[in-house]
Each structure stands twice: as C-alpha cells, then as structure tokens.
A and B are shown apart, each in its own frame.
Chain A
Amino acid sequence: MSTILECRALKKRYITKEALGGVDLTLETGRIVGLLGPNGSGKTTLIKLACGLLTPTGGEILIDGRKPSPETNAVVSYLPERIALPLWMTAEQAMDFYGDFYADFRRDAAEDMIDRLKLEQTQTIRTMSKGMREKLQLILTMARAAKLYLLDEPIGGVDPATRDYILKTILTNYSEDATVLISTHLIADVEAVLDEAVFLREGSVMLHESVDAIRETRGKSVDELFREVFAY
C-alpha cells in the first residue's frame, strides 16, 4: 500500500476566480475513489492538475511522489470529459497511436473490449455516434495498465446499459497496484463500486471517508449524504 496521489495545500487561481483554495488529499493504491461535488467545485481542475494540463499557483501535487511531467503521464491514464480522439482516425489507428506512445497499453485487452461492445475496428471515429466515441475512449483509457486512472465524468452522457458496462469495465481492470479516481455527479450509480468518497466544495475538500464508514456512522448512503450536504 503506497501513496499514488498527494495534494498538499494545492491551489489554482485564475485571474478572476480561485478554482482550488488549498486542497489536501492523499490517495493510496488499490482504491476506487469518487471525486464528488457540484459543478464548479473544482473536480475537473484537480484532475487537470494531476495530468499536467494545468500548473498549480500554490502548494503542490505529486503523482507517485513526483511532480506532473512526461514521466508521470506515462503512468497516468486520463479520460477527459470531451472526445479528444482525432476524428479522422479509425478505431484501429487509435489503438496504434496508444500503443505507440504508451508502453503500458494492452492491445489485446482493447481489441477484446472493442469486440464485446460491437464496435468496428475499421470504422472512422467521425462516423461513430457520440455514445460509440465515448465507449472507444473509455476502452483505450482502461486498456492501459496504468497506476492512476483519472476518469472525468465517465458515465455522464450514456444510457444505463452502457453505464453498467463502464462500471464493470472499471471493476474488471481493477488492480491492487492501481487507483481509479472517478469524478461524477451520478453518485447513486457508482456508489457500490467506490471504496472512498471525496466531497469537493468550492475548491476545498469537505470530506474524505470510506463509503462503508459513511454508511455506518451516518446511517445513509453517500448519495443521500451528498444531497443533504449540497442542498440548496
């Protein structure tokens, strides 16, 4: 058991707004963690800081003990909210691309998932529906044997059956050496899959507990607690 992600007084300020105001967070390996909070609470900012897409304005963030860099990117698998895959590529070319740049990419696992989800390897991404594109992106992300998976709203725009498949895929690829951080609004759907829940409110961590502890000590589910805590 070791620490895969650590934030110490992490701050990110834009000119007009402070997105993160001092986040302290530690994630251990072998956990599936939910990053939960309303829109604008800083979830995406935190994830982007971990990928190196943004640089902190205060404090620090460490992946496996190191600052975000090309080396940490090699062990971090990021699923963005948008479709980031070039539309001109085919599924096969996308797999080639991932295999080229990521040493931990498991081609066979990817092809298996593509088959199972009934996607065509030779189909261009441009001709795929939004749902298919999201599935492909998820497949590519989970087919890597990374140490840290950062999933930004992985189940937001898909139908319930796909949602189930996505959660099952996360469980299938679970490993004791890896950690999955899922940022989402749809708490009820993912709760059973989570080890720990992190509540983020207006740029700081309100709560970081195991799902079991939340249920035991408060007698309610994480979803119910969330609704209470973030009620209007």
Chain B
Amino acid sequence: MLGKLMKHEFRATGRVALPLCGVMLALSVVAGMALRFWNASEAVSRAVGWIGTLYGGSVFAVAVGVFAVLMQHYKRNLLGDEGYLMRTLPVSVHELLLSKLFAALCWYVAAAVLIALSAFLVGALSGELRDVRPGDLWDALRRLFSYRDASYWVFVLLGVVGALSVTTLLFYADFTLSQTFRKHRFLYHVMAVVIFIALLRLTGSLNALAGRAAVHTDIGGGVPWLGLAELYVSNAVLYVLTWAALKFRPNIE
C-alpha cells in the first residue's frame, strides 16, 4: 500500500509543483537565450537584467513553493476533512506518514535536479558553455569526489537526508500536535519553541562533552558520527510524536 500512497502523493502534489518547475525551466530557456544579448544596448541590457531576475525569482519560487505545497498538502490531506478518507483507508498510520515523508524527500531531490538543469540550460543556451565539453564535467565531478574517501561522502549523504527529513518532520509534528492541542494552540506553540531550544542546547552540550576539537580534525573518527546519530534520534523522536498524535488523537477535525 505504501507504493499506492506515494503514487497518490505525487499526483496530488505534482499538480501544483510540476507547473511551477515548468515555469522555471521555461524562464531558464528565455533567460539563456536573452543572455546572448547582454551587451547589445543600454535598453536591451536592462531588459536582460529583468529577465534574469525573473528567472532567479522562479528558482526561489520553486525552492520555497515545492516545500510549501508539500506542507500544505500534509495539513489538508491528513488533518483536514480529507483525513476522514485517508485515515479510514486500509493502511497503517506508519504507511500514511512514511509515504508523505518519502515523497517529500523525492521532491527535494527532484527540485534540486530541476534547478540544476535550469541553470545548465541558461549556461548552454547563452553560449557560455560553448568551450566546455561533456568530458570536462565528468572530470570535474570525479576530481571533486576524489578529495575525500567514501565514508566522508556517505556521512554527507546521511547528513543531508537526515537534515531534510528532520526539517520535514518538524513541520509535520508541529501541524499535527498543534491540532491535537487545538484549544490551547498558543500555549502549545510557546511550549514547542521552548522544547526546541532546549533540545538544541542539549545537543550543543553533548558535543562539548565529546570534545569539540575532535569534530573538526578527523572526519573518519567516532565523534562526527555522534552528531549524525543525534540527527537521526531527533528524526525518530519527531516521527514517533507525529505518529502517536495521528493515531491516538482525542479528536479529528
């Protein structure tokens, strides 16, 4: 059922997210071609500037917009009236939550890829890349990855995924818990901020305990992985809180 739920997720969020990305890609094409004339004349230069700004704005819009669509969809689909449909499906709360989390992570990757693609289009169409050959890109990447060993990149990957996941779950948890404490929402949010700050300070203290110096010098050592572990513990805590709130909420609205 997880696959079906994710399919539904992509369909529901893609309706808005894909056109947004489409606009960005279209603008990147326009910007790329316009860039050829960047020094044609005073007026044209200014127009090109505006087009570039538009394109830049669309990139920002995609970055923020995709996230906004995902968050709004979570709220509406599980916590709004649609929840009557979704939460009576023959699926577990785990499947509901995980499908949304995984779909969100996929969207982050997709958005990043599309943004990169749009930048590439600008470069390619404006002729700026005319001296670059496909082989060059490959070489550059290979050199980048060779600077560190595999464990470093695994660490980075896990860190990025963990961070994206924690951010997403933070919002999910906040939406869900604030609805559980609907009647005392302000109080809940104050409490949530206090707890969040306390957690950060706790993490900071743990790092200090483990010896800060070690973190910076030796990435293959045990300590940075402690930071990663904290990240995933936070993930787990937020996940369990959200799951519990969805499953045992005193009321649905």
Q: Which residues of A contact B (CB under 8 A)?
A: 14-15, 48, 51-55, 70-71, 73-74, 76, 78, 80, 82-86, 88, 97, 100-102
Contact = CB atoms under 8 A, between A and B. Distances in A.
Contact of B88 (A55, A78, A88): A78
B89 interface: yes
Main secondary structure of the interface of B (DSSP, over half): loop
Contacts of A52: 87-88
A71 B90 contact: yes
Interface stretch (B75-83, B154-162, B199-207): B75-83
A84 B89 CA distance: 12
Nearest to A69: B92
Contact of A54 (B82, B83, B90, B251): B251
Interface string B216-253: 00000000000000000000000000000001111110
Interface of B: 1, 4, 7-8, 12, 15, 77, 81-85, 87-92, 247-252
B250 A82 contact: no
12 contacts: A48-B252, A53-B87, A54-B251, A78-B88, A82-B81, A83-B81, A86-B77, A86-B82, A86-B85, A88-B15, A101-B4, A101-B90
Main secondary structure of the interface of A (DSSP, over half): loop
9 nearest CB pairs, A to B: A84-B84, A74-B90, A84-B85, A80-B84, A73-B90, A70-B90, A51-B88, A82-B81, A78-B88
A64 to B, nearest CB: 13
B83 A84 contact: yes
Nearest to B248: A55
Most chain B CB neighbours (cut-off 10 Å) among A51, A71, A82, A88: A82
A88 B87 CA distance: 19
A74 B92 CA distance: 11
A101 B1 contact: yes
Contact of B92 (A48, A55, A70): A70
Given A74-B90, A78-B88, A86 B252 contact: no
A101 B91 contact: yes
Nearest to A16: B183
Contact of B252 (A53, A74, A83): A53
Contacts of B7: 100
B82 to A, nearest CB: 6
B59 to A, nearest CB: 26
Contact of A85 (B1, B85, B88, B92): B85
